[in-house]
């Protein structure tokens, strides 16, 4: 038979353990390498002054060894998204290095000096938006 004092002592110990676990959980702050850059609207890249369309929703930004890759969702067709960036980049002295169009996606590579920008726009089936990937690199 279990003694009532042992049960009471066990209940107190378990309560203290639960309270400590809860307190640790509430006070926990994870370490992060970079600030979260949730952006809805116009934003520029860290490497060049490249705007996003006003309806852009940033899906992700990844740093690479020599640049960054930005994924955005826009309420445009791939052609409209590419036209947006072509007008901006050619006005700033960028030249088209290559262009490939296939199966609802358009990939255009631009160059200016040692820098490269690749814009890939992919239309989404049964939707009015496109996913645009902007790859910025410097060599």
CA distances from 71 to 40, 43, 62, 123, 135 (A): 12, 12, 9, 13, 9
In order of their start, the domains of the chain are 57-138 (3.30.310.80)
pLDDT at 78: 93
pLDDT above 70 as % of the chain? 84
- pTM value is 0.64
Alpha helices in the chain (DSSP H): 4-27, 78-91
User: Tens digit of pLDDT for each residue in 102-132?
Assistant: 988 999 999 999 899 999 999 988 888 999 9
- Cα 120 from Cα 99, distance rounded (Å): 10
Mean pLDDT of 43-53: 65
CA angle at 105 for the pair 115 and 113, rounded to the nearest 5°: 10
- Cα 131 from Cα 113, distance rounded (Å): 27
* pLDDT interval class at 36 (50, 70, 90): very low
Residues 14-53: b if buried by 16+ CB within 10 A, e if exposed: eeeeeeeeeeeeeeeeeeeeeeeeeeeeeeebebbebebb
């Amino acid at each position: 038979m279990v003694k009532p004092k042992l049960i009471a002592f066990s209940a107190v110990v378990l309560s203290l353990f639960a309270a400590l676990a809860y307190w640790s959980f509430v006070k926990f702050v994870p370490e992060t390498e970079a600030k979260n850059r949730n952006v809805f609207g116009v934003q520029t890249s860290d490497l060049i002054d490249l705007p996003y369309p006003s309806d852009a929703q940033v899906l992700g930004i990844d740093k690479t060894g020599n640049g960054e890759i930005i994924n955005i969702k826009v309420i445009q067709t791939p052609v409209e998204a590419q036209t947006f960036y072509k007008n901006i980049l050619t006005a700033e002295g960028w030249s088209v290095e290559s262009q490939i169009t296939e199966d609802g996606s358009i990939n255009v590579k631009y160059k200016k000096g040692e820098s490269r920008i690749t814009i890939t726009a992919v239309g989404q089936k049964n939707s009015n938006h496109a996913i645009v990937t902007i790859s910025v690199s410097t060599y």
